[in-house]
Structure formats: structure tokens, C-alpha cells
Amino acid sequence: MKALVYKGNRTIALEEKPRPSLLSPTDAIVRVTLSTICSSDIHILHGAVPRAVPGVTLGHEFVGVVEEIGPSVKKFSPGDRVAVNVETFCGECFYCRRGYVNNCTDPDGGWALGCRIDGGQAEYARIPYADQGLAKIPDAVSDEAALFTGDLLSTGYWASDLAEIKKGDTIAVIGAGPAGLCTMLCARRYEPECIIAIDRSLERLTFAKEHHMADVTYCPQDISALEAQIRSLTSGRGADAVLEAAGGSDTFEMAWRIARPNAVVVLVAMYEKAQILPLPEMYGKNLTWKSGGVDACHLDDILTLIEEGRLDATPLLTHKCRLSEIQDAYQVFEAQADGVLKYAVYPD
């Protein structure tokens, strides 16, 4: 089968690999019908994910059809259309029982697909702990609508939960890329009065406004000016919650600066460099900090919201290609060229 392989040293290659087989009674084999490229894949290429294994098939955000199941798989049958969870988790350990599935203690637990074990930028993928790692796609939901369930929408769902958003709040989302946009979509569940989108791309801010993901947008020249703008909007207080989904050189500082006292700051982004927490400057703001990675254990709830028409991330699919064209797509995606937000990668 065709598979996109991470070779190390900022190199990827489309190669022929054996079709995966069942290795455990809890495994399933999924035929990939649609996948995409994630910013986390780019972090792997940059060497910013030390656990990533050279030789691994990339891709952790995909949907497909179950082809085979192990004898211990109870929830799925061959022929089921499924969304795949970004995380592998056993469902039984200390962390899984509490919903902290990102920290599953299984050797393959947490973010494994497309990082430590072969992922879904391929024709087929093996899914460990399939009863936890898959979710059935309702008949009325297309592959395109379900594509982001296991990662981007799970991230937005989890992050907006962590932010403790209340009806009538003003929240700020830093970063209007795919993760930030999905965070805005999921934050709407809590009926905030105002969602502020912050980004340096006017194109992405326009997208967020046109698709009703954000109510107010700012393209900041500097943090002090942005802080003043947000205070002016909130009677001098600052944002009730800040969700940082950009991971830029100054967005960590931006997040705590624009938050009001006693606000919640959620770090959604994956940083490639260490950040500094300037405690003396922050003293007295009494901020609550929460950080990733995502605990992706609400796929069924997300698919229900999609089926009901309450969650629609399909506008993010700005580009499409075939699996055989994915290396060119990586170049466009990494450069953020041609207005790209997300690719829909179809089988050949």
C-alpha cells in the first residue's frame, strides 16, 4: 500500500509498505477514505516532537471503513464507517478512568498514531484499542464533515471545556488557524457574548468573521495596543477566558496580558520552544493556567453535534488532493500558501 513516511531530518517520502495486520485482539484495520495534514505533522518534520519515530507513517486525523477486527473488539464490525481518535488509550488505567486519556499508561498510549506507530496518511491503518479509538459516523454525516472529529474538533471541544466559559462571557482565541477556528466553533456551545479572534493574518481573520466563528477580530501590531483594545471592549477588565492556539514567539505573553484578573488561560498550542512564566509581573492577576494535550474522549458527542447541524467545520477544507500528491500538499500547507487552512486527502 502507499504510505507517507517520516524519514527524519525534515524529510518525508511516499513509499510502498505492507498492508497492516492485526497485532492484538483489541485491534482493528481501517481502510482510509479521507485524511488530512495537521500542524502537528509539521512539528514532527521540524524535529519538535522528540518521541516521533523515523520510519513511521504520518497522519493522525482521518476517517475510514472498518475492514477487520480482532476477537476482543465489541463495538464495531467490518463495514462500519468510523472516525479515528488522535489518541490511543486502553480505557482501564488510572488516567483513562478519569477521562485523562492523553496520559494513558499503555506503552502506545496518548498520541501514538502517526508519531510512534503507523498512522493514516496511507491506504490502511491499524487502530489499537479499537473500541476506544474509533467512533461510528452517522449515516447522515459525510466523511468531510466527520474528518476533524478525532483531533481538531476534539481539541476545540476539550479546550472550551477547560476554559470554564459562561453564558455572556467575552473570550479571546489567539490564532485563527485550524485549531483556533475549531476552538471558536466549540466555544459557541456555551453562548459567550463575544468571541474575539486574534491573528496576524487578515485573510484568516476575515474567514473567521465571514463564517460566524468570531464576533470581533484583531490583527495586533503589538501586545500593549491589543491589551488596550480588549480592555476597552470589556469595561477595562480584559477577556474572561483566553485560549492560546497559535504557539507563536509572543503569544504566550499575549495570552496572560489580555486576560482579566481571575481569568482562565488555556494553552491549546504546541510550542516548539520553551516559554518563560514571568511570575513577578503576573502577581496579583490570580490566573488559572490549563494546558494540553487534548483528552480526546468525546468523539460520539462531537459526531452528534455534527449530525444535528450544530457543529460544522467543513469550511476549513480549502484544498484537496490525492494521496499520491500529498508531498506537494505538505509544501503548500507548511508555507501557509494559497490561502490554505486544511487539505482533504483522498485515496488514489
Indicate whether 296 pLDDT > 90: yes
Mean pLDDT of 95-115: 95
Task: Tell me the pLDDT band of 319, cut-offs 50, 70 and 90.
Answer: very high
State how far the Cα of 268 lies from the Cα of 266, in Å rounded to an integer: 6
Domain 156-291 indexed as CATH 3.40.50.300: no
Predicted confidence (pLDDT) at residue 338 exceeds the cutoff of 90: yes
Task: Provide the whole-model pTM.
Answer: 0.94
Contact between 76 and 130 (Cβ < 8 Å): yes
Averaged pLDDT, 291-319? 95
pLDDT at 131: 98
Please name the residues in contact with 94: beta carbons below 8 A apart, sequence gap of 6 or more. 105
Extents of the domains making up the chain: 2-151+295-346, 156-291
Q: Which pLDDT value is given to residue 316?
A: 98
137 close to 144: Cβ distance less than 8 angstroms: no
Homologous superfamily (CATH) of 2-151+295-346 is: Medium-chain alcohol dehydrogenases, catalytic domain (3.90.180.10)
| Rounded average pLDDT over 38-53 | 93
pLDDT confidence bin for 193, thresholds 50/70/90: very high
pLDDT band, residue 270 (cuts 50/70/90): confident
CA-wise closest residue to 244 among 206, 199, 281? 199
d(CA 212, CA 188): 10
pLDDT at residue 271, rounded to an integer: 86
- pLDDT score of 152 more than 80: yes
